[in-house]
Structure 1
Amino acid sequence: MTVSDQQLSDVCTLLQRTGPAENPLPGLRAAFPGMVFTRCDASDMDGETPAMHAGGYDLYLVDNADHCWRITADPQRAGGVVLAAHKD
């Protein structure tokens, strides 16, 4: 699966509409049923470069084609998105 520019834009729009106390994962999973979403602590992503920022989150693209997931900058290889709260 690939993640299109439009899907990423739509993910960002949804995150920007999500309140800081809300869990965005149920809404994202409902809106994008074929895409994988997970959330982690920002410290788990140390050393990685986010693909974008939206709604208080850093977004990382995930290549989940193999057994082990890996962060990718290539939306054509991505099948999911990791959300990590912005570091302040």
Structure 2
Amino acid sequence: MFKNTKNKASFLEFLQKQTLPNANEQAIIDMAITELMHKENEYRVRQNMIDELELLAVKMKLSKEGVKLLTKLSKPDADSDIAQTSTTWFH
């Protein structure tokens, strides 16, 4: 999803550039940024964002921009998904 040798940094930079029109949507982004800055696992942070945005979507309270962000976050990324999966195999 975020091609870079420092995946977490690129995901953090991506989020820092995002602004959503609704305060509750922006709060999800802000929380994710805080979590990444506190060295939380990027995959967990991303999944939490997806879960929160999906809840808003189900309630029909997700803006058009929020839908675009959710779509981008939800797209499968074979490289990172395989890397994440392989770490669980050998752990």
TM-score by length of 2: 0.31
- Flag the structure with larger Rg: 2
Larger RCO (CA within 8 A; separation ≥ 6): 1
Larger strand fraction of residues: 1
Larger helix fraction of residues: 2
TM-score by length of 1: 0.32
